Structure 1
Amino acid sequence: MKQPLAYVHPEAKIAPNVVIEPFVTIDKNVVIGEGSRIGSNATILEGTTIGKNCNIFPGAVIGAVPQDLKFVGEETTVEIGDNTTIREFATINRGTKARNKTVIGNNCLLMAYVHVAHDCIIGNNVILVNSVQVAGEVVIEDWAIIGGLSAIHQFVHIGAHVMVAGGSLVSKDIPPFIKAGRERLSYVGVNSIGLRRRSFTNEQIRDIQDCYRVLFQSSLNNSDALIRIEAELPASNERDDILLFVRNSQRGIIRGYASGNEA
């Protein structure tokens, strides 16, 4: 259902039961899946694909060109999965030649004034609370929750099931399954409540805790801690996810609280 005061480019591909409210602008080369709703004054620009049953609130801008001086007009996209909600005045930029696309997964909630920059990859079931600012080429894995007013540095990688405290400055990678907080940002424990809500067993959570006791509380450097974890702790999907994440970290991981927070 399209309101007469909305502008929809004739080349946009809109499912028949999409609701488009007044003063919406939808550009060419846009695809919007069935059951979605586009709130008044939202702007959906060229190269955007929005999945099924999404809810785009008033004032959101999706698919604007990157705020990156290296961008020279290359053809790039924004891809948003199914059942995702984009709240008021959130902004999501297209990709650049770095990845060619910015991706938001299924069942995500991006609250008001969130910004997701070029070439970010946001997984499924992710929550970005009000005014989270995500710089370019960031990866946030499934089920992560980022507290309001947090700022995430370019190229940072945040693992699955992570919870980040509000107002955090995230300049290092955050391994999966943990809570991160304090100033400077550091490990403050395993996200056990979140994991139980997602049907992790007590045994799985204990195994994750054992891994992080070695990594963050044993006074070993990261390389030696990984060797000990692999040698002494039983193999599991969770253990292997932690090992792989830390070994592949490009920016280095956040500190453990046992190591202190000196500048």
Structure 2
Amino acid sequence: MIHPTAIIDPSAEIAPDVEIGPYCVINANVSIDSGSVLKSHVAIDGHTRIGKNNTFFPFAAIGQLTQDMKYAGEPTALEVGDGNTFRENTTIHRGTSEEIPTRIGNDNLFLSYAHVAHDCQVGNNCILSNNATLGGHCTVYDYAIISGLSAIHQFTRIGEHCMIGGMSRIPQDIPPFMIIAGNPAAVRGVNLIGLQRRGFSEETRRALKNAYKKLFLNKSNNLATATENFLENEQAKDENVSRLIEFIQSSERGITR
């Protein structure tokens, strides 16, 4: 299961059924659970813990040193869940401080040249398309889709079930359930097809569409005021609309409109 050209530190913890292809390099303090596959030329470094059934394609660089200039040499970490796919030349950096590791959840897909910077927190079932890049300290919630060549500013939050169009510049938080595109980015509508595919009811989709009209279509209105006013709407009681409102009200960077 381990190619003779692979270089593995003796202290690395590798499950017996892990497949490690030609010219892979696994350094000390790495652990890889059962069912994972490293195709070839994969480099895994740092205090990196990898769960079950992950697949790494050639030249993926996982758990590499943070690019944060304030890094002081402490032993920082990366935690990867189960069932993720990392395509060619994906780069995932570990955290900057010992307290907060970079975290990747379950069943995510990172296409070629996708980049996850230090201290990012990525949920489950997300897709980062080719050359999609996360700056440091970003949070990506479940089922978010970030299309190719899109760049996410550090400390930005990407809401669940949203879809970001290709080549978008994202300097502010992306509200959940929405479609966003452009440079600068703007909300273009509700991700209705994605929500339908994931089993959201017609009633919820209608409530989110109404919220979109009230909160995002009229950009001359103050978003905070529009949000407060929408709380009086009966549809604001829908749990997903409530989540949208909570996300907006908790933003520190501001919301993409």
How high is the TM-score relative to the length of structure 1?
A: 0.94
**Residue type at the aligned position of 1:136:** G
**Residue type at the aligned position of 2:247:** F
Please say which of residues 123-132 and 92-101 is displaced more in the overlay.
92-101
User: Which secondary structure state, in structure 2, belongs to the residue aligned with residue 196 of structure 1?
Assistant: helix
User: Which secondary structure state, in structure 1, belongs to the residue aligned with residue 231 of structure 2?
Assistant: helix
How high is the TM-score relative to the length of structure 2?
A: 0.96
Shift of 1:98: 8.2
Q: Distance in 1 between matches of 2:99 and 2:210?
A: 36
Equivalent in the alignment of 1:55: 55
Pick one of 226, 244, 247 that aligns with 1:245. Answer: 247
Equivalent in the alignment of 1:130: 130
Gap runs ≥5 in structure 1: 256-263
Aligned-CA RMSD value: 1.2
Equivalent in the alignment of 1:261: none
**Percent identity for Structure 1 against Structure 2:** 44
Deviations 1:169-223 (A, max 9, x none): 1111110000001332101000000000100011010111111111112443111
Gap runs ≥5 in structure 2: none
Large movers: runs of 4+ above 3 Å: none
Please say which of residues 119-128 and 231-240 is displaced more in the overlay.
231-240
**Residue type at the aligned position of 2:104:** I
User: Which secondary structure state, in structure 2, belongs to the residue aligned with residue 11 of structure 1?
Assistant: coil
Q: Distance in 1 between matches of 2:17 and 2:166?
A: 37
Q: Distance in 1 between matches of 2:192 and 2:117?
A: 30
**Conserved 8 A contact 1:214-1:228:** no
**Conserved 8 A contact 1:98-1:119:** no
Q: Distance in 2 between matches of 1:108 and 1:223?
A: 33
Shift of 1:233: 3.0
Paired residues, what number?
255
Matches within 5 A, 1:100-249: 100-218=100-218, 219-234=220-235, 235-249=237-251
Q: Distance in 2 between matches of 1:98 and 1:54?
A: 24
Deviations 1:205-261 (A, max 9, x none): 011111111111244311111111111233121111111101111110112xxxxxx
Q: Distance in 1 between matches of 2:98 and 2:209?
A: 36
Equivalent in the alignment of 1:260: none
**Conserved 8 A contact 2:16-2:34:** yes
Q: Distance in 2 between matches of 1:99 and 1:46?
A: 15
**Conserved 8 A contact 1:48-1:79:** yes
